[in-house]
Chains A and B, each alone.
Chain A
Amino acid sequence: MLRYIVRRLAWAVPILVGISLISFLMIHMAPGGPISVGTDLNPKATAETRARLEAYYGLDQPLHVQYGRWLGRMATLDFGDSFSPDGRPVAEKIGERIPITLTINVLSMGLIFLVAIPIGIYSAVHQGSLFDRVSTVFVFTGFSIPTFWLALLLMILFGVKLGWLPISGIGSLEYHSLSMMGKIADRARHLLLPVLLTGFTGLAGMSRYMRSNMLEVIRQDYIASARAKGLPEGTVVFRHAMRNALLPVITILGLSVPDLLGGSVIFETIFAIPGMGQLFYQGVMSRDYPLIMGILTIGAFLTLLGNLLADVGYALADPRIRPE
């Protein structure tokens, strides 16, 4: 097992180098290079910013030297200073935004798990039933609906018409004067719609995936033999089939990280949630160049981490795939 983990980590090293190379090259392939991209179109950039950037990127050095330096800075999470008026270090700005984004994504992953897996199992076991057909329609709609539009509709319904839920921010004005329980309830009301919406697309995909896994497993010989020896159907479904069908789901969770992060840009922008996605959007709108590159690199790193965790989790859960 340990050997497997070490091998996966060894696989991640060239990927990490590749991520850094692509990020680095993106800076240099952008028309006009980093300085002009960052400053020509940015009215806030002064001659002084320009000079600071020249020095920061060390543009007089040969490319491989520049890459080496840049890599050294990445390793210490030094992404440079933001172009925005506050001029704070990018790493600091991202650091304070990450927790809320991760909270929303972890909560919506939990939601996906809790709802999608029962739907998938039930659909597969009762293939062709009314429930199966209705959930299939739901799944296709979930795949096809623009989530930002669904967000608009839910905002109109729950925020404007019914007035049940707040439609922006993560806390009411009086948040700081609330009791402990009040704070939790207030935060929950603000996060409810964003979490539901973030989970929505994943929900469709996951329940579909669980359904086809179950259908696959149910056809296996060991299920037939479990039935043949007279085990009750419930035992066959839950003990024999479900446990095997659940395994690949771990991988999908790891693979869903980039989509969740991408979605956070849209939802955090719509709901005015001060997370990493909103920060990224603001960075794009103001061409805050160091910030964009910092978030892009961190996003890739989080994705890689998700993949690694999923691989290791899968290997822990299923001894068959450990190659030894």
Chain B
Amino acid sequence: MSGSVGIRRNIARRLLRNRLTVAGGLVIVFFFLVAAFPALFTSQNPARIDVANILRPPSAAHPLGTDDLGRDVLARVVYGARVSMKVGFVAVGIAMAIGLVLGLLAGFHGGRVDMVLMRFVDIMLCFPTFFLILAAIAFLSPSIVIIMAVIGLTGWMGVARLVRAETLSLKERDFVAAARAQGAGTLRIVFRHILPNALAPILVAATLGVAGAILTESALSFLGIGVQPPTPSWGNILTVGKNYIEFAWWLSLFPGLAILVTVLGYNLLGEGIRDATDPRLKGR
């Protein structure tokens, strides 16, 4: 056990030594706070329409300006963080759950089960993900719940492949054989021996997955088939920005920056975890 604590401390030290990883982590914490306590960051109501103050540039009263209905852009960006965080986490949660179950099944059982599941993954990967998402949204009406479900249901294939590969290599290891010899059941082997040892790459995939899900949601909302107004989302604020591209730069600039910084945070953290935990990358 002491060895494992040592390894963990070592990983933590390597994570903290990388300044970019720390910066990524801080960005994520910051946007978490924004999403959890929006009232701390703005006193305005994101839905309050003010026809007397339409398309005003940034000022003391409206630090990021106002939109085409006179709504405060800062408030909309702040409340938009909730949508992004929620979609990112729920979508990735769904993808992770499916990918974990199918990957474990395929890797652990091998044989027919593995063959069938991996062919299914091959087939799913042939559909351009964005096409699948759009087609699904055309059947169902766009809403936050649908968006989260669809992004999750179309994003599990990489995780399944990853978990399968990890399971395949881990299940041949001596400590798994030893556990089995001691009479450990399948579930115990999976949860005590395989999953904990595959945790790092899964965590990396999840972190990078959140980044991807946030980008996808924003693109969908920008195209008008994602989160629907009046609920603010970074993507749908940009749609308004595009309509007033020649007069109101603040509508196009700030929500995009919020997306960029958030997604960058998740990507940096994900890569940082990978660097710190993957022994093959040592010294790169």
Q: Do A and B bind each other?
A: yes
Q: How far is the CA of A160 from the CA of B252 in the complex (A)?
A: 14
Q: How far is the CA of A269 from the CA of B220 in the complex (A)?
A: 12
8 Å CB contact of B128 from A212, A215, A262, A270: A262
8 Å CB contact of B260 from A127, A149, A280: A149
Question: How far is the CB of B255 from the nearest CB of chain A, in Å?
Answer: 8
A152:B260 contact, CB within 8 angstroms: no
B284:A215 contact, CB within 8 angstroms: yes
B256:A152 contact, CB within 8 angstroms: yes
B211 lies within 8 A of chain A by Cβ = yes
B202 lies within 8 A of chain A by Cβ = no
B129 lies within 8 A of chain A by Cβ = yes
A299:B223 contact, CB within 8 angstroms: no
B252:A263 contact, CB within 8 angstroms: no
B123:A15 contact, CB within 8 angstroms: yes
Which of B32-40, B131-139, B164-172 sits within the interface?
B131-139
A281 lies within 8 A of chain B by Cβ = yes
Which of B41-49, B173-181, B263-271 sits within the interface?
B263-271
B249:A156 contact, CB within 8 angstroms: yes
Chain A 132-170, CB-CB to B under 8 Å as 1, else 0, gives 000000001101111111001101100010000000000
Question: How far is the CB of A318 from the nearest CB of chain B, in Å?
Answer: 22
Main secondary structure of the interface of A (DSSP, over half): helix
A140 and B268 in contact, given A152-B242, A269-B223, A295-B131 (Cβ under 8 angstroms): yes
Question: How far is the CB of A10 from the nearest CB of chain B, in Å?
Answer: 13
B130:A262 contact, CB within 8 angstroms: yes
Question: How far is the CB of A183 from the nearest CB of chain B, in Å?
Answer: 28
A144 and B264 in contact, given A19-B127, A263-B130 (Cβ under 8 angstroms): yes
A265 and B256 in contact, given A15-B126, A22-B123, A148-B238 (Cβ under 8 angstroms): no
* Chain B residues with CB under 8 A of A319: none
In B220-243, the 8 Å CB interface with A consists of 222-225, 235, 238, 241-242
* Chain A residues with CB under 8 A of B224: 285
Question: How far is the CB of B202 from the nearest CB of chain A, in Å?
Answer: 20
8 Å CB contact of B123 from A18, A160, A258: A18
B259:A146 contact, CB within 8 angstroms: yes
Question: How far is the CB of B217 from the nearest CB of chain A, in Å?
Answer: 10
A15:B122 contact, CB within 8 angstroms: yes
B120:A18 contact, CB within 8 angstroms: yes
Chain B 126-163, CB-CB to A under 8 Å as 1, else 0, gives 11111110111111100000000000000000000000
8 Å CB contact of A266 from B20, B223, B241, B284: B223
A15 and B119 in contact, given A22-B127, A152-B241, A287-B138 (Cβ under 8 angstroms): yes
B245 lies within 8 A of chain A by Cβ = yes
Q: How far is the CA of A265 from the CA of B219 in the complex (A)?
A: 10
In A274-322, the 8 Å CB interface with B consists of 280-281, 283-285, 287, 289, 292-293, 295-296, 299-301, 303-304, 307
* Interface CB pairs A-B, < 8 A, 9: A141-B264, A145-B260, A148-B223, A149-B238, A257-B128, A280-B134, A284-B138, A296-B127, A296-B135
**B interface with A by C-beta (< 8 Å):** 20, 119-120, 122-132, 134-140, 211, 215, 218-219, 222-225, 235, 238, 241-242, 245-246, 249, 252-253, 255-256, 259-260, 263-264, 267-268, 271, 284
Given A19-B123, A259-B129, A261-B128: 16 more A-B contacts, CB < 8 Å: A19-B127, A26-B139, A127-B284, A140-B267, A140-B271, A141-B260, A144-B211, A146-B219, A149-B222, A156-B252, A262-B129, A270-B242, A284-B138, A285-B225, A292-B135, A296-B132
